[in-house]
Structure 1
Amino acid sequence: MKKVFPDAKAALAGVVKDGMTIMAGGFGLCGIPDTLIEAIRDSGARNLTFISNNAGVDGAGLGILLETKQIRKMISSYVGENKLFAEQYLSGQLELEFNPQGTLAERIRAGGAGIPAFFTKTGVGTLIAEG
């Protein structure tokens, strides 16, 4: 298997497909994979689910993929600095699965370790737990 590619487009060729789930690193606008996000945009893949701490901002980070409406669902802990995200979410074009920061980190860790489920006390004893 070839592990070195001349650019992000070549690295993603044949990998990025409609409907896939992608986990993107970064915190705010620090450490985000800008080059790969642009290559995903250029791939034209649609109906993507992104697992990421946040949804970028207008015009940067995952905000680039929101502009082209390639993201169908976000699994995040914070999305408050992106007006386009808010518009798409409130109009029903975009799904959101909110997770507290620690729960999101544990879901990622558990998934990587092959653990299908875990218990957290988040929400116990609140309206969230009802029903």
Structure 2
Amino acid sequence: MEAAISGTNRAVCISLVAVEPLVRGFPPHSSLRELAQTTAARPEEVTSLRPIKPPSRWTGELARAIDGTARQTASDGWSGPGTDGARAVAEAISRHLGSVHMAADVVIDEGNGCPAAWRKNFLLVTRSHIALLVMTIDD
């Protein structure tokens, strides 16, 4: 999927940058903001958070981000692999961490610490883990 949405002058990366155990079980006893701060390198960098309801919608948002990225990077107007790519990511997360029961779109302001030209962050909460899924485009 990354190869499909990478243009000749851009690098695309989709990764789980943080996976933490959900210490006190599900449902979490902390707010989504506090959970997001747990996954951020520096908690103060979490500047905003928008819950995604129902949580299954996060894959649709990832698909739209992938397709938007493909349109930005493709020179031939190709529409991109959003739905299949997002489904593959969701299935991999489900296999390794369990089904996503809570999700949020998170804005993390890393200042000059993140060289990415574009970044999209998803906080994902399963019954046993908190994860931060990050999609970036680098020039």
Task: Sort the TM-score into its range (normalised by shorter chain).
Answer: under 0.3
**Greater fraction of residues in helix:** 2
Q: Which has the higher contact order (CA 8 A, sep 6+)?
A: 2
**Greater fraction of residues in strand:** 2
Normalised to the residue count of structure 1, the TM-score between the two structures is 0.23
Normalised to the residue count of structure 2, the TM-score between the two structures is 0.22
Larger radius of gyration: 1
